[in-house]
Structure 1
């Protein structure tokens, strides 16, 4: 009779020990690699959130314009904001983990965008987390201490509107010596001065348009995307002119020097740009800016494609969302 041992042979035991040792080495090496990557690699999304000061934050404050139809307009009766910029503010806020009820939109003047100072309904100035307010990216602005721009989220260009009965304006030279209104801190000042116009500065674009309608100035000059909403609202009395300026205006979101927050905003814009299922940018353009185009011909309102955004270096594991 053959006796079968219930115990494994010495060879089997040694083989099992060797396999176990290999598995242990792989596990330890993997864990060590993860530690090394976390220490020397790019930060994770969670780490960026922590460094940006968003963990535990209950309300996100965003400075926006309130007098630009199509971009950012506040209803005086309801206090509600609507427009392309408003949708962009909510897009970014959602990707930062904030529901609409956790976002507070506050009016901000052009000169206060670089200081991150917006005004509450009680006329108190507060520091906001983000500025989404037709803020053109320029080297001069980027050099300011509280300005850190995201990647562009919209491209437009400078243009001119006049009263409907005004002759065609082909260039700013056609307005030489004439009163032309613009916003005090706009990028339009240099082209206007170069053309020799009589520059009239106001704090808000609505003040310029009102002056135009009253006949106090001959034209208003600023970004086409800003002017288009006024022409679309009153095409019988206002006319948009393509003046052929080659200057491209790229709107960015100011994160007030918070570089980690800027990276998170760029990550939101990147994922919006590259995710075929994410149509929020396209929906906002179709809702607010594309309908303005017919009334504003021959001037293009804005480029109808979301700007390219460089990929943000973020540590991600295979099971995490890939940007």
Structure 2
């Protein structure tokens, strides 16, 4: 499998934005993590099986929730600002509204809620755009205090950063132009030019060094800094397909009516808030906010506003419940 890296560019400025339907209100969903998908290519199925065997950590493990301010939280409050790394290019999750200039979406609602709960003042919360590939580095080098940016929890990342309890369940999906003849995931990536974001779980699916996947899917990978760049490349006819998680895939399909999500998904996963290892009290505070955010209905209202009209398999629900 060959790999090409595409330099960072202003993908948001290039993407063709389609008009979207107004979102509908309703109750917040809760339920189980989506079940494993069927119909995946043989190489991806093997990847999924081997990863399940090699991942021995508990992706739901985190410190108990607490409202007590420990040394990490006190240091942030003394600095008078909490810096949260977010996305600004993922429609419905974290994207800049061209009319207001403000970043908005499901993850942005959560980031603001966490920041306001910890700092007691929304004016002390700083949202800092961070590229997909820079998420871990931004935490480890103290450029941000938290990452709220569709970040999958897995064993390797748990060695590098601390995670909150998961707040969303996802799987990997594939987008193609509506003109593509591909009927399923196998046809969409087998022997095709597939775009993935650097440092993403989608990139790991195709990386033999990380999961032992065979190369018999024959995919040619194009690697970009941010997943929205993949949408631009599909619009330009430079790639045949994009692999990303189903939440981001749904956002791209809502953003651009010329692309669609093919049948089939792989690798059920969960998303969490990332922060510096060792900042146990900060992790506990975030977990308390997450528990309150869901119990109070804010999670459900944000989900209904930003994601519910566009998510596939909505009946499976997306608030994660440990097995």
1:222-254 deviation per Cα after TM superposition (whole angstroms, max 9, x unaligned): 11111211211222x111113231x11211111
Please, which of 106, 131, 148 is the counterpart of residue 132 of structure 1?
A: 148
The equivalent residue for 2:195 is 181
1:241 and 1:201 map into 2 onto residues whose CA distance is 20
The equivalent residue for 1:220 is 242
Post-superposition, which runs of at least 4 consecutive aligned residues in structure 1 deviate over 4 A?
Answer: 49-52
2:240 and 2:66 map into 1 onto residues whose CA distance is 54
The equivalent residue for 1:300 is 313
Task: Determine if the alignment matches structure 1 residue 254 to structure 2 residue 268.
Answer: no
Please, which of 84, 87, 100 is the counterpart of residue 62 of structure 1?
A: 84
Please, which of 261, 264, 268 is the counterpart of residue 243 of structure 1?
A: 264
Point out where structure 1 has 5 or more consecutive residues left out of the alignment.
1-41, 119-124, 294-298, 310-323
Q: Larger relative contact order (C-alpha < 8 A, sep ≥ 6)?
A: 2
Structure 1 pair 219–113 and aligned structure 2 pair: CA distance change class (3 A)? same
Q: Is the 8 A contact 1:156 1:302 kept in 2?
A: no
2:65 and 2:203 map into 1 onto residues whose CA distance is 41
* Residues 58-137 of structure 1: pairs in structure 2 closer than 5 A: 58-76=80-98, 78-116=100-138, 127-137=143-153
Structure 1 pair 47–215 and aligned structure 2 pair: CA distance change class (3 A)? closer
Secondary structure at 1:136's aligned position in 2?
A: coil
Q: Is the 8 A contact 1:289 1:302 kept in 2?
A: no
Secondary structure at 2:150's aligned position in 1?
A: coil
1:180 and 1:302 map into 2 onto residues whose CA distance is 29
Q: Is the 8 A contact 1:161 1:227 kept in 2?
A: yes
Q: Is the 8 A contact 1:108 1:117 kept in 2?
A: no
* Residues 193-212 of structure 1: pairs in structure 2 closer than 5 A: 194=213, 195-212=217-234
Q: Alpha-carbon deviation of 1:213?
A: 1.0
Secondary structure at 1:56's aligned position in 2?
A: helix
Q: Which moved more, 1:182-191 or 1:84-93?
A: 182-191
Point out where structure 2 has 5 or more consecutive residues left out of the alignment.
1-63, 208-212
Using structure 2 for the length normalisation, give the TM-score: 0.70
Please, which of 149, 152, 165 is the counterpart of residue 163 of structure 2?
A: 149
Q: Is the 8 A contact 2:270 2:320 kept in 1?
A: no
RMSD: 2.6
1:111-160 deviation per Cα after TM superposition (whole angstroms, max 9, x unaligned): 21102269xxxxxx97111110111001011112xx11111111111001
Q: Larger radius of gyration, structure 1 or 2?
A: 1
1:288 and 1:174 map into 2 onto residues whose CA distance is 27
Q: Is the 8 A contact 1:224 1:301 kept in 2?
A: no
Q: Which moved more, 1:44-53 or 1:215-224?
A: 44-53
1:61-102 deviation per Cα after TM superposition (whole angstroms, max 9, x unaligned): 111001000000013564311000001101212221332222
Q: Is the 8 A contact 1:151 1:252 kept in 2?
A: yes
2:221 and 2:66 map into 1 onto residues whose CA distance is 49
2:129 and 2:200 map into 1 onto residues whose CA distance is 17
Task: Determine if the alignment matches structure 1 residue 272 to structure 2 residue 293.
Answer: yes
